[in-house]
Amino acid sequence: MRIALFTETFLPKVDGIVTRLKHTVDHLQRLGDQVLVISPEGGLREYKGAKIYGVSGFPLPLYPELKLALPRPAIGEELEQFQPDLIHVVNPAVLGLAGLFYSKMLNLPLVASYHTHLPEYLQHYGLGLLEGLLWELLKAGHNQAQLNLCTSTAMMQALTAHGIERVDLWQRGVDTETFQPHLASQAMRSRLTQGYPDSPLLLYVGRLSAEKEIERIKPVLQAIPHARLALVGDGPNRQNLEKHFADTPTNFVGYLQGQELGSAFASADAFVFPSRTETLGLVLLEAMAAGCPVVAARSGGIPDIVTDGENGFLFDPLDENGAIKATQRLLANPEERETLRRNARQEAERWGWSAATQQLRNYYQAVLASRYMPTAA
């Protein structure tokens, strides 16, 4: 198959969506498919044999890490040359509108996928009044697709409740080779704790942005004697967070990748994830693959991954003390923590990228054959 993949974010940016897409592109290419990635300009021209067509853009005002790339006629010329069998639009928003347009222009099947819970994000940027309008725009875009894929059952329910049709589940995936428990090391603990490797180590990995609600980790850190916090990642809210955590033993580590990131996960005592806006929470699966016990909010796609008391702990996002109690429980019982580590790894081992990509290929083939029948939501 020849697949034109439209996305608002791709390499060299680092986030959960890019992680999913780069593994998907890699596995599709390995299976003999040809992928053309159309994304905001990032300096790359190729990835794992797939051509990248970069569209110049400008930083998003509220989120300068993201580039806003506007559709242009040259995209049509690139598609004419590539001759795709279908178009897959990831989060149809701005550049993705070109995917919707050209699927009609060129009479190509259209698949869309939903990875960012934008209506929830609005609340964190003071734009909550626009939520109803945004859902209408999302519905207008997604309902042009023959198939809409979500990465969790919670997001399937949310989209269906707001009138988006032909919704199905794109299963989760994680790199169980890069993220492994044996990568734990005293050297990494010392680095993350800034020289206090015997102290309890709390870890957060991900974008430092308002919707991730990272400031909610501060009371957890303060409630646990001698605990240290490592924040791995970067983003538009970093300066505010540096002020917020200024009086605490918090290490702003910046980005880590590959085995370094795997070692960070494996070396921590708890991965604390307060976000209530996750469609999937891929980073949770990465933590679990590395054997790092997870403490996370019971919301969005997270309960699809974390089973409370079995491979991590969930807390009520409306309970101000929920994360504190869950983390204290985790750290208080070393034997239970080791059981959680083993169970977390076992759960992650069920979800390799190969199976997730094969499922996606099956969806593509069904759409191409016009055999796709939506499942009851």
Half-sphere exposure of 70 (CA within 13 A, CB side): 3
State the number of CA atoms in the 13 A half-sphere of 336 facing the CB: 15
Helix intervals (H) in the chain: 16-30, 73-82, 96-105, 118-124, 131-142, 153-161, 186-192, 218-223, 238-244, 258-267, 282-289, 322-332, 334-349, 353-368
First to last CA, the chain: 28
Domains annotated for the chain, with CATH where assigned, are 2-173+352-368 (3.40.50.2000), 181-349 (3.40.50.2000)
The Cα-based distances of 118 to 89, 135, 211 in angstroms read 16, 9, 10
Cβ–Cβ < 8 Å for 291, 348? no
The label of the residue with tokens 């993949």 reads 5
- The count of other CB atoms within 10 Å of the CB of residue 22 is 17
- Number of DSSP helices (H) and strands (E) in the chain, helices first: 14, 16
Single-letter amino acid, residue 96: G
Q: How many residues does the chain have?
A: 377
How many Cβ atoms are within 10 Å of 185's Cβ, its own excluded?
A: 14
In this prediction, residue 278 carries a pLDDT of 65
Residue spans of alpha helices (H) in 13-72: 16-30
Query: What is the CB neighbour count within 10 angstroms for residue 276?
Result: 21
Strand pairing class (201-205; 270-273): parallel
- Cβ burial, residue 195 (10 Å; 0-12/13-18/19+): exposed
Q: What angle do CA 299, 90, 69 make, to 5 degrees?
A: 115
139 touches 132 (CB < 8 A): no
pLDDT in tens, the chain (377 residues): 999 999 999 999 888 899 999 999 999 999 999 999 999 999 999 999 999 999 998 877 666 667 778 889 999 999 999 999 999 999 888 899 999 999 999 999 999 999 876 656 556 556 666 677 878 898 999 999 999 999 888 889 999 999 999 999 999 889 998 999 999 999 999 999 999 999 999 999 999 998 889 999 999 999 999 999 999 999 999 999 999 999 999 999 999 999 999 999 999 999 999 887 665 678 999 999 999 999 999 988 889 889 999 999 999 988 989 999 999 999 998 999 999 999 999 999 988 898 899 999 999 999 999 744 545 43
pLDDT for res 121:
56
Residues sharing a CB contact under 8 Å with residue 293, sequence separation 6 or more, in sequence order? 269, 270, 271, 312, 313, 330, 337, 340, 341, 344
Read off the pTM.
0.79
Task: Pick the closest to residue 287 from 275, 278, 297, 296 (CA basis).
Answer: 296
259 burial class (0-12, 13-18, 19+ CB within 10 angstroms)? middle
Q: Which amino acid is at 28?
A: L
CA 48, CA 29: separation in Å to the nearest integer?
7
Spatial contact of 170 and 164, defined as CB atoms under 8 Å apart: no
